[in-house]
Chain A
Amino acid sequence: MRNAKERLMKSVFLLSALVFIGAVALIFLFLFANGLPAIAEIGPLKFLLGREWSPNEIPPVFGILPMILGSLYVTAGAIAIGVPAGVFTAVFMAGVCPKPLYTLLKPAVDLLAGIPSIVYGFFGMVVIVPSVRNLFGGDGNSILTASILLGMMILPTIIIVSESALRAVPTELYDGATALGASRERALFAVILPAAKSGVLAAVVLGIGRAVGETMAVIMVAGNQARMPVGLLKGARTLTANIVLEMGEAAELHREALIATGVVLFVFILLINLTFSVIRRERVR
């Protein structure tokens, strides 16, 4: 009797674990089964490298290069803004922050991590868009605006992961450096930061993943024009935005082309995730 119950529950636990595998398999299956035929029909090169996206033309044209570049530029901008600010903040927190200040700064960073992306997007819409418009001209919905907003959004990821990497560096390294006459600042810059290099890199990769996958906040500030990006102060559309904006009224090949956009996004994310695992594995070794 008791044995039967033990065995039953063990299979329930095992079944739960199998749900993970099933879920990933289902996601793969449904995305690829619905997206790949469209890519085949449009032609892989024409789809990936096509410079025009005009789903309502006759015949329709489905090229997602504008969106691939849009995602790329916006992410690069976010990294350019978020990484220096984030890594230096992490060095500050791990190395020179006075204790009372730390008890303020740490919860503030956690707070930033918890803010929903829709609130970020709203803030971008009512604050950053007008500021960019007034400072640099244009209508404010631009690659620059999206980069600034995404830079803010990846800040907590970069800070939290980098800080723990910096703290994981053995204190002997710091003590050795200062014993050799290095100042605190030089020890942090020339010894601790290089020692935590792969951890910081992992933080950056995580930040890239978050920026590429972000949807709602970007939609609200990027302008979303489906054309080849023309400048920092002009609008652009990301892969994620393409899906949300048109899925509502798309049908047939158009709908499948949007799902195929999701497939491309998914593959990008998997590659980024793979990079992250490789970096982490090297760290462990």
Chain B
Amino acid sequence: MRRKPFDRIFLLLLWSAAGLTFGTVIFLVGYILINGLPHIQPSLFAFRYNTENVSLFPALADTVVIVASSLLIAAPVGVFTAIYLVEYASHTNRLVGLVRVMAETLAAIPSIVYGLFGFLFFVGYLGWGFSLLAGSFTLAIMILPLIMRTTEESLKSVPDAYREGAFGLGAGQLRTVFRIVLPAAAPGILAGVILATGRIVGETAALIYTAGTVAQIPENLLGSGRTLAIHMYALSTEGLYTGQAYATAVVLLALVFSVNALSAALAKKIARR
């Protein structure tokens, strides 16, 4: 088939744009892996952090704590809100529209503004100081809209016949929600929660002035601690530990990618049904 000049140029443009995108991904991930993998050594996972051995273990532990506590706060609120919107509220309810607008607003707020708010409210006004608790609450608000929206979608994907069947057998609304609808929607909800985990792991700007940057595992939630992402920021701006910064980047990427892959696999499972 003969192609006209326009077609050829346009096609060339499309191929080069796609090539550029693909090349960017390969180069970025490849560069980090090639430079980071040799620096992954057992000493990086030593229990304590000090200037001779910039271990990432305390940061890893703090990350796990912050993920767990943020999810503990945000998951029930997000899921319950979705239940209210989908299962309880009538479509003409004004509140539904308002809650949706609020969720959209929360989703649009940049993480540094969350950080600023957490600093003013949790750290300052409530007097928690730089602490894992302040960081967790700040991130919990940040991931609320994500959890709510994914839960809402998976609740909507549960066929109405399930609900009608349950009602027909005499189950109340509450029983129907918890025994029938929620189990059916579970993979989708879990996918959303895991996606939120990925966001927490990668977050920096919202944590610097809430959880703080101390490289330690604090004794309790009111102590300050840095997550892996903040650890990496500190290492790369100090400029002394480039090798370790590469290695931390590898750990961070591995963590985020596996979390996202898990979420995608779960989402696919619910889409197939």
B6 to chain A, nearest CB (A): 7
Give Cα distance in the complex from A224 to B260, angstroms: 33
The listed residue with most A CB atoms (<10 A of its CB), out of B14, B85, B95, is B14
A9 neighbours in B (Cβ, 8 Å): 174
Interface size on A, residues (CB 8 A): 84
Choose among A87, A110, A152 the residue that contacts B260 (Cβ–Cβ < 8 A): A110
User: Is there contact, CB below 8 Å, between B102 and A26?
Assistant: no
In the complex, A248 Cα to B210 Cα: how many Å?
A: 11
B260–A118 CB distance below 8 A: no
Contact with B along A78-107 (1 / 0, CB 8 A): 000000111111011101110000001100
**What are the residues of chain A within 8 A of B242 when measuring CB–CB?**
126
Interface string of A1-41 (1 = CB under 8 A from B): 01001100110111111011101101100110010000000
> Which residues of chain B have C-beta atoms less than 8 A from A14's C-beta?
84, 88
| Residues of chain A from 258 to 285 with CB closer than 8 A to chain B in the complex | 259, 262, 265-266, 269-270, 272-273, 276-277
Contacts of B24 in A (CB 8 A): 112, 152, 155
- The answer on a CB contact under 8 Å between A84 and B17 is yes
Q: Do B105 and A116 touch across chains, with their CB atoms under 8 A apart?
A: no
Cβ of A108 < 8 Å from any Cβ of B? yes
Chain A residues near B208: list those with CB within 8 A. 244
- Taking CB atoms and an 8 Å cut-off, the chain A residues in 43-57 that contact chain B are none
The distance from the CB of B248 to the nearest CB of chain A, in whole angstroms, is 9
Asked if A114 and B116 sit within 8 Å, CB to CB, the answer is no
B236, A122: Cβ atoms under 8 Å? yes
Cα(A88)–Cα(B19), bound, Å: 10
Query: At the interface with chain A, which of B26-34, B51-59, B159-167?
Result: B26-34
Measured CA separation A83–B60 after assembly (Å): 36
Chain A-chain B contacts (Cβ-Cβ < 8 Å), number:
241
Task: Check if B6 sits within 8 Å of A185, measured CB to CB.
Answer: yes
Taking CB atoms, residues of chain A closer than 8 Å to B26 are 108
Which chain A residue shows the least CB distance to B108?
A273
Chain B residues near A188 (CB-CB < 8 A): 10
Contact status A277-B104, CB under 8 Å: yes
**Does B99 reach chain A (CB closer than 8 Å)?**
yes
Do A12 and B80 touch across chains, with their CB atoms under 8 A apart? yes
B109, A27: Cβ atoms closer than 8 Å: yes
Known: A123-B31, A220-B236. A20 touches B113 (CB 8 A): no
When the two chains form their complex, are residues B21 and A26 in contact, meaning their CB atoms are under 8 A apart? Answer: no
- Give the chain B neighbours of A243 by CB distance below 8 A: 112, 115-116
Contact B112 A114 (CB under 8 A): no
Question: Which chain A residue has the least Cβ–Cβ distance from B79?
Answer: A16
Residues of A that sit less than 8 Å from B by CB: 2, 5-6, 9-10, 12-17, 19-21, 23-24, 26-27, 30-31, 34, 84-89, 91-93, 95-97, 104-105, 108-112, 114-123, 125-127, 152, 155, 159, 183-186, 188-189, 209, 212-216, 220, 240, 243-244, 247-248, 259, 262, 265-266, 269-270, 272-273, 276-277
- 20 example contacts (A-B, Cβ-Cβ < 8 A) are as follows A16-B84, A17-B84, A27-B114, A34-B120, A88-B18, A92-B18, A108-B26, A112-B25, A116-B201, A119-B252, A122-B245, A125-B236, A152-B28, A213-B113, A215-B110, A216-B233, A240-B112, A244-B205, A265-B113, A273-B108
**Using a CB–CB distance below 8 Å, which chain B residues touch chain A?**
3-4, 6-7, 10-11, 13-18, 20-22, 24-26, 28-29, 31-32, 35, 76-78, 80-81, 83-85, 87-89, 95, 98-99, 102-106, 108-117, 119-121, 125, 141, 144-145, 148, 172-174, 198, 201-205, 208-209, 229, 232-233, 236-237, 242, 245, 249, 252-253, 256-257, 260, 264
